């Protein structure tokens, strides 16, 4: 290769990397935030495995898994409008520090209860409710803080990289958790103790960022108006209304499967905690590929069409996972989960980006709080879907969920006038 050709290849490579990692390269405070956030998201994924494994071990019921998800999702649904006001009213960094402290304490309490052999199923329900309250503030605070840390041109890329970081933890976290749970001297309670180490790193990183995320809107004397401001704004917005409609149904049907994977691993496929780790890792690998691809295409003008394709693929992938699980084809089921993870991340990243780009900056917290309400449905829907699994089996349940989702997305993209303008 000639010297000139080598320079051209290097420039193209550099340009590609800049398109994928531009927000990290150009914004030092966002870089600090992003790396610090990885400790929190890694532990979140590891604890998801631990919670599901522990709940199913204590009860042997898929319905019990759904109830834990319900306990976590219900406060997110009910409290999110108030949480959005809180995120817009108070410094976001201080809110995140408080939330991480509470999450650390609840995780440590579960670890100690397991170590003392005092753990009971209702402990998981109570701590799940507390964690749901924390998550209802955490997401709008984190998401609405990002525009303060990056330039406007890097916002879409920053959101995609934020999802990529989460999905990287979904690859590493479940695999590590599954292996650690299988180690007799470490066991499931060791996962909860690790939250303390993660908390120390998150605390350090947050304190390195001088931007507090101060409110940009005036505080209204009528709190009820602020609580409902996000809903009224979305309802009357030509672009946000169809985006939230699609998000509502897609999350209701397309994300609840994650809470039900322990039942598939321990009962349908009989692959144990190690198999559960591989299943969640497959989802994470697919999601990471989806995040990095979306980061590359973050400046694409056809985000609506890409989202519709991703939603349809998500539904078909879930149906395929159900069918392959019923046939006991574990390796092919992992492939289906990879497709599910990739499609789901494409969908959520584009949806998040379009919402942020079309929202008034002063209402970021409240709009993202409503978005958090839609996310809580994935936990809430896991309860009835878990009960359905106990009656008709996991494979048929997943095929029904996936098929319904695929049909809905196709109809929405084809006939909703507001959404068609995005494509």
Residue-wise DSSP of 140-161: HHHHHHHHHHS-GGGHHHHHHH
282 closest CA partner among 231, 346, 332: 332
Cα separation values, 26 from 139, 151, 291, 321, Å: 23, 8, 19, 40
**Degrees (nearest 5) of the Cα angle 95, 173, 70?**
60
- Predicted confidence at residue 347, as pLDDT, reads 81
* Two structure tokens written together for 419: 């959404």
| Dihedral pair phi/psi, residue 22, rounded to 5° | -55, -45
160 closest CA partner among 331, 290, 28, 8: 290
* CATH code at 12-208+222-420: 1.20.1250.20
* Two structure tokens written together for 364: 């970021």
- Predicted confidence at residue 299, as pLDDT, reads 63
The CA distance from 416 to 413, in Å, is: 6
Whether 321 contacts 336, CB under 8 Å? yes
The SS3 assignment for 137 reads helix
The CA distance from 294 to 157, in Å, is: 8
The SS3 assignment for 223 reads helix
- Predicted confidence at residue 396, as pLDDT, reads 93
- pTM of the prediction? 0.65
* Two structure tokens written together for 14: 């550099």
- Predicted confidence at residue 85, as pLDDT, reads 76
- Predicted confidence at residue 9, as pLDDT, reads 38
| Residue spans per domain, the chain | 12-208+222-420
Whether 27 contacts 151, CB under 8 Å? yes
Question: What tens digit of pLDDT does each residue of 366-419 get?
Answer: 777 677 666 666 666 777 888 888 888 889 999 999 999 999 888 877 776 666
Which DSSP symbol is given to 212?
A: -
Whether 257 contacts 62, CB under 8 Å? no
Residue 143: Cβ-neighbour burial (10 angstroms; 0-12, 13-18, 19+) = buried
Which residue numbers in the chain have pLDDT < 50? Answer: 1-14, 221
- Predicted confidence at residue 222, as pLDDT, reads 59
Whether 278 contacts 334, CB under 8 Å? yes
Cα R_g (the chain), whole angstroms: 21
């Amino acid at each position: 290769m000639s010297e000139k050709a080598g320079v051209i290849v290097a420039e193209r490579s550099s340009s590609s990397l800049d398109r994928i990692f531009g927000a990290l390269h150009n914004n030092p405070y966002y870089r600090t935030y992003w790396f610090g956030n990885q400790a929190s998201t890694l532990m979140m994924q590891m604890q998801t495995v631990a919670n599901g494994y522990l709940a199913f071990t204590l009860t042997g019921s898929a319905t019990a898994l759904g109830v834990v998800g319900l306990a976590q999702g219900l406060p997110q649904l009910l409290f999110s409008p108030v949480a959005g006001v809180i995120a817009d009213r108070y410094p976001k960094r201080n809110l995140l520090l408080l939330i991480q402290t509470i999450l650390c304490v609840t995780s440590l309490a579960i670890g100690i209860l397991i170590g003392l052999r005092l753990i009971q199923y209702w402990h998981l329900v109570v701590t799940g409710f507390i964690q749901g309250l924390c998550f209802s503030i955490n997401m709008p605070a984190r998401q609405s803080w990002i525009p303060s840390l990056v330039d406007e041109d890097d916002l879409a890329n920053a959101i995609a990289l934020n999802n990529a970081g989460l999905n990287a933890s979904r690859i590493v976290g479940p695999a590590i958790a599954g292996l650690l749970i299988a180690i007799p001297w470490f066991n499931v309670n060791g996962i909860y103790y690790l939250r303390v180490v993660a908390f120390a790193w998150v605390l350090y990183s947050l304190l390195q960022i001088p931007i507090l995320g101060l409110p940009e809107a005036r505080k209204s004397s009528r709190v009820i108006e602020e609580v409902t401001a996000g809903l009224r704004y979305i309802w009357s917005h030509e672009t946000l209304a169809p985006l939230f409609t699609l998000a509502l149904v897609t999350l209701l049907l397309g994300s609840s499967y994650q809470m039900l994977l322990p039942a598939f691993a321990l009962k349908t496929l009989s692959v144990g905690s190690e198999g559960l780790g591989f299943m969640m890792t497959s989802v994470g690998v697919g999601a990471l590929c989806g995040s990095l691809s979306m980061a590359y295409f973050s400046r694409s003008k056809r985000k609506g069409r890409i989202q519709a394709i991703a939603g349809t693929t998500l539904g078909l992938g879930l149906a395929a996972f159900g069918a392959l699980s019923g046939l006991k084809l574990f390796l092919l089921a992992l492939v289906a989960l990879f497709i599910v993870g990739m499609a789901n991340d494409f969908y959520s990243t584009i949806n998040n980006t379009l919402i942020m780009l079309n929202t008034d900056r002063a209402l970021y917290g409240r709009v993202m709080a409503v978005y958090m309400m839609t996310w809580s449905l994935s936990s809430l829907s896991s309860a009835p879907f878990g009960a359905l699994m106990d009656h008709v089996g996991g494979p048929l349940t997943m095929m029904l969920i996936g098929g319904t989702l695929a049909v809905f997305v196709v109809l929405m993209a084809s006939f909703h006038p507001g959404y068609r303008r995005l494509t």
